[in-house]
Amino acid sequence: MNVDQNAKFMESHEWARKEGDVFVIGISDHAQDALSDVVFVELPAVGDTVTKGEVFGVVESVKAASDLYAPVSGEVVAVNEALEDSPEIINNDAFGEGWLIKVAPSNPAEWDELMTPDAYAAANA
């Protein structure tokens, strides 16, 4: 299983990675592998707010639809628009080009409460 060592994780398989003053958010390689071929992603709009632990979107695959949960709270400052036409990018690069949203955190300390890469890997081994 591929795990980004610069990210922290939720048990529900979302990750957050600090990049300057924002957090980049996506789903883990483990999650995209379990979902199989991603065919659609529903994401919030720039300017929307997300709340840690609450649903902010949906990812659909040929197998199932899964809610996406926010690993941190804050304002959405960017949405990966490439996923609108090519959601399969998530399958190809879950920790890179397959990111979902970028959030300006309202409480940056929430990131410290997430699972470390090693803890996430151990929980999903």
Per-residue model confidence as pLDDT tens digits over 27-85: 999 999 999 999 999 999 999 999 999 999 999 999 899 999 999 999 999 999 999 99
Alpha helices in the chain (DSSP H): 29-35, 82-85, 89-92, 117-123
Contact, 15 vs 95, CB < 8 A? yes
pTM attached to this predicted model: 0.96
Structure tokens at 67: 């809610």
- The CATH number given to 12-107 is 2.40.50.100
Burial grade of 42 (CB within 10 A; 0-12, 13-18, 19 or more): middle
| CA–CA distance, 7 with 77 (Å, rounded to integer) | 19
Contact, 102 vs 77, CB < 8 A? yes
